[in-house]
Amino acid sequence: MKPSDEILRGQEKEGTGGGPHRRYMFLSILSVLLGVVAWQVTARFASKLFFAGPWETGVAFVELLRSGDLQPDLWVSGLEFSYGFGLSILIGVPVGLAMAISQRVEAVVDPWASILYSTPRLALGPIVVLWLGIGISSKVLLVFLGALFPILISTYVGAKNVDAQMKLVAHAFGATRGEQFRSILIPGALPHIISGFRLGAIQGILGVIVGEFFGSRRGVGNMIFAAAETFDTAKMFVGIAIFAAAGLVASFALRAIEKWYAPWRQNASE
């Protein structure tokens, strides 16, 4: 215990930036519960046409499940996300690593990464649907485009920031470039890469919604838009809740993986 610990004990010791501390988990849960209560209270006073409370949403959810109406939508959206996200990992990670290793590759790819970053997917939505139709492929592309950039950049930064001293150790023991890549670069970059997955997942979910908005037959987003037209507010809320839950689960799961793999990282990602 250093004297500075004692001084800091009076104030809150800074967290590591990897999300709320486990000790305060119950506060997070309490916060969500309070939100649900507020939600329910609002529903009592709002018009049924525009608002559905948690109970009503829950009932609608169960009904949709029982009628078998929800499952195909969940399946389609899930597929769109999985394919798109998987593709973005398959391409984003190797290209990010290549960029970190080779300055030539970096020079070639970098302008496209910037272009990708600055083009809003909302603007691309209509044309992608025009090209690829209202089937799955247009959504997959939009998910892919959304998730690619965070994954690419995180991989690149993670690889670049591997401590140069580690590479010196590899050199001193005579590691070949391949061994250096395998034993130092990949494990060193991995925490950053995983945090990139988390950001990419969130952008990917957005891609599902955008794609389904501009033309789709099925999917959870499609369900929301169709329900809006028939003023089936409860169904809309079911869809929204599903997306929210998906984002939460992805974020939580990936943060947990990141924390498990890299407990030594003091300055974790945002």
Q: Which residues contact 119 (CB under 8 A, 6 or more apart)?
A: none
252 interacts with another protein by CB under 8 A: no
Choose one: 3-11, 86-94, 114-122, 171-179; the region binding another protein (CB under 8 A).
171-179
1 interacts with another protein by CB under 8 A: no
Out of 59, 98, 116, 175, point to the residue binding another protein (CB under 8 A): 175
- For another protein, the binding residues in 97-156 under the rule CB under 8 A are none
264 interacts with another protein by CB under 8 A: yes
Out of 32, 33, 127, 179, point to the residue binding another protein (CB under 8 A): 179
CA atoms 170, 173, 178, 179: torsion sign = negative
176 interacts with another protein by CB under 8 A: yes
257 interacts with another protein by CB under 8 A: no
Angstrom distance (rounded) from CA 64 to CA 19: 34
Q: 135 vs 188, which CB is nearer to another protein?
A: 188
Q: What mask, x for binding another protein by CB under 8 A, covers residues 185 to 224?
A: --xx-x----------------------------------
Nearest of 129, 151, 147 to residue 139 by alpha carbon:
129
Out of 166, 226, 257, 268, point to the residue binding another protein (CB under 8 A): 166
64 interacts with another protein by CB under 8 A: no
261 interacts with another protein by CB under 8 A: yes
Q: 140 vs 185, which CB is nearer to another protein?
A: 185
Residue whose structure tokens are 């006073």 = 45
Residues 96 and 159: beta-carbon distance below 8 Å: yes
CB of residue 17 to another protein, shortest distance in Å? 16
Out of 174, 229, 230, 260, point to the residue binding another protein (CB under 8 A): 174
Out of 40, 137, 183, 251, point to the residue binding another protein (CB under 8 A): 183
CB of residue 233 to another protein, shortest distance in Å? 49
Q: 69 vs 179, which CB is nearer to another protein?
A: 179
Residues found near another protein in the complex (CB under 8 A) = 163, 165-166, 168-176, 179-180, 183-184, 187-188, 190, 261-264
